[in-house]
Amino acid sequence: MSDLNNKPQSIEKDLESMPPQNGLSDGQQQQSSEGKTSNEPVVQSELNLDIIDKGEGSSTIPSPNLPIQESKQYQSKSVETYNKGTKKKPRAQSYNRKKPVQSEINKNTTEEKTLQKGYLLEYRMKRLLFHMGYFPKIGIDVRTSYDDASDKITDLDVYGLYVHRDFTSKSLWVDCKSGSVQIHDRITWIKGIMSEITVNDMIFVVNSARTSVKQYARKAGIQLLDINIVDKLEADYKINQDDWRGSWNPDTQHNKINQLSKFSIPTNDLYKRIAKYISSDYWVIDNYSKVKKTLSGIRDLSTYNNLKLNEEQTKTIQWSIYELTNLFLLAVLDIAKELYYFNDSEKRETVVEGLSSGDIPNRKRKEIFDSAFRVAYNVVKTQIPDFNIPSKMPSFNITPPNYTESFIDLILRITNNPMYYYDLLRFLDFIFMEYDLQSKVISEADVRTLFKNYDELLIGAKTLLHFICQVTNIPRSMYRIIN
């Protein structure tokens, strides 16, 4: 993913309600999706995140400014839900999402999941995890390695992250099997996968299992869950079984990563690498590399409006930008977790070091650099005896990206105002996939039913998205919260 590790190309000139702060450097080289480069002047601007008070005595929270519509039942036809392995008629009152078209579901011959079983069960479990407080993802790949020639071992059906108020987190993997399965064999397989990934808890959803088998699995750190118990859990969290909104809506989410990987306008290489980054590479690199690569990925996709795309292609690109935005936020929250108990000076020093060096400290990089040059000089000396090896090695300097000061300011705001950010992943995940992706007006009433701290999260969302727009040059119209 070297192409995703380029610096942003330009900075947006101004923000609607924000005075300038924190300068960004100019003159960065822009790389287009065709792989060509051009030196374009960058507008000198300053980033301002003064949306919230930094905690210096003021408790006033700015009032949110979102388009509002009446909270009401959805009017379209309801989706057929999967319950206990059979179809049920929708309830009288429901969110009534449009039923996924079976022909569309089976477009990709590599996906043989049916609406009634595994395919919809995964989205059902994703919905449950969301209401349990997790930020849920579907289809994270586990690979033999993370280079271009690697092979896929499996994908995690549903993976959830629960973020606490101090930004620590716990992870949960859900494996779904709605049909017949050899449970003991599958448990052995799951134990092998768990030895290769980092996960705190694991749920294995099956049609039914004997109590003795559940007890055996539990000793191995695996919770067996009968499908009929899912009904009870949904009732516990007051989930309407016909509610297919947000990122658990199969109509808008299914097969998007495969569609992105096959995108070829004008060429396929960029989109294929971004798809692989979202589904696998992101999950194994260090947090500071995640920040830099994800911002570069958003920047690379920000010019999609210049391409001639149909509606489905446009939705796929937008979906990938929203995915990258949440992945950026996840990396930022992980950094906030590492720095939460540091003072501001220590936070600043650590962030500069992290953005400069990534997962290898600068001191170690210098040692490697010096050793490589000494070996090279000695090789030359054997071929040219009169060659004089310099007593001093060439200098080795790695400078942090030009948005470092702005990023430090963002980290300080997050760590000094945790209530505005700790649940922001779920908040933006719902807003992006329910409203932005579908070009719908945000219903404040509906969102408030899911997020009791709506006002705080709204401020945190605006702060984060303004930063992303300035650094990546993506238009603010991409995000309805700040449009």
Q: What's residue 55's pLDDT?
A: 39
pLDDT band at 304 (very low <50, low <70, confident <90, very high): confident
Residues 215 and 271 in one domain: no
- pLDDT tens-place string over residues 399-410: 889 999 999 999
Residue 339 lies in a domain: yes
Instruction: State which residues form the domain around 340.
Output: 2-69+254-354+399-478
> Of 69-78, 382-391, 448-457, which one has max mean pLDDT?
448-457
- Is residue 190 over pLDDT 70? yes
Q: Which of 180, 211, 243 is the last residue of a domain?
A: 243
Residues 136 and 183 in one domain: yes
Residue 86 lies in a domain: yes
- Is residue 243 over pLDDT 80? yes
- Is residue 206 over pLDDT 70? yes
Q: Which residue has the higher pLDDT, 92 or 197?
A: 197
CA–CA distance, 198 with 37 (Å, rounded to integer)? 39
pTM confidence score: 0.74
Residue 368 lies in a domain: no
Residues 286 and 322 in one domain: yes
Q: What's residue 149's pLDDT?
A: 75
- Is residue 1 over pLDDT 70? no
Residues 182 and 123 in one domain: yes
Instruction: Report the percentage of the chain scoring pLDDT > 90.
Output: 59
pLDDT band at 358 (very low <50, low <70, confident <90, very high): low
Residue 74 lies in a domain: no
Number of domains in the chain: 2
- pLDDT tens-place string over residues 316-332: 999 999 999 999 999 99
Residues 202 and 307 in one domain: no
Q: What's residue 35's pLDDT?
A: 41
- pLDDT tens-place string over residues 267-292: 889 999 999 999 999 999 999 999 99
Specify the length of the chain in residues: 483
DSSP conformation class of 283:
G
- Is residue 112 over pLDDT 60? no
Residues 95 and 152 in one domain: yes
- Is residue 38 over pLDDT 70? no
Q: What's residue 77's pLDDT?
A: 37
Pairing of strands 86-88, 201-206: unpaired
> Residue 48: CB partners within 8 Å, gap ≥ 6?
15, 18, 19, 20, 21, 22, 466
Residues 200 and 308 in one domain: no
Residues 206 and 327 in one domain: no
With residue 50 as reference, give the H or E element that holds it. none
pLDDT band at 394 (very low <50, low <70, confident <90, very high): low
Q: What's residue 276's pLDDT?
A: 94
Quickly list H helices, 201-286: 211-219, 227-236, 250-253, 256-261, 269-279
pLDDT band at 43 (very low <50, low <70, confident <90, very high): very low
Question: The tokens of 460 are what?
Answer: 């945190």
Q: What's residue 42's pLDDT?
A: 41
Q: Which of 194, 216, 243 is the last residue of a domain?
A: 243
Instruction: Report the percentage of the chain scoring pLDDT > 70.
Output: 71
Residue 364 lies in a domain: no
Residue 433 lies in a domain: yes
Residues 315 and 410 in one domain: yes
Find the CATH number of the domain harbouring 226. 3.40.1350
Quickly list H helices, 64-199: 102-105, 118-131, 183-194
Residues 318 and 427 in one domain: yes
CA–CA distance, 384 with 144 (Å, rounded to integer)? 44
Residues 305 and 419 in one domain: yes
Q: Which residue has the higher pLDDT, 370 or 172?
A: 172
pLDDT band at 145 (very low <50, low <70, confident <90, very high): confident
- What 3-state DSSP class applies to 108? coil
Q: Which of 243, 268, 302 is the last residue of a domain?
A: 243
For the chain, what is the mean pLDDT?
80
Q: What's residue 307's pLDDT?
A: 86
Q: Which residue has the higher pLDDT, 290 or 394?
A: 290
Q: What's residue 266's pLDDT?
A: 83
Residue 371 lies in a domain: no
Q: What's residue 187's pLDDT?
A: 95
Give exposure, 128-167, as e/b (b: 16+ Cβ within 10 Å). Answer: bbbbeebbbbbbbbebeebeeeeeeeeebbbbbbbbeeeb
Q: What's residue 396's pLDDT?
A: 58
Q: Which residue has the higher pLDDT, 386 or 352?
A: 352
Residue 102 lies in a domain: yes
Residue 289: CB atoms within 10 Å: 21
Residues 121 and 161 in one domain: yes
Contact 127, 138 (CB under 8 A): no
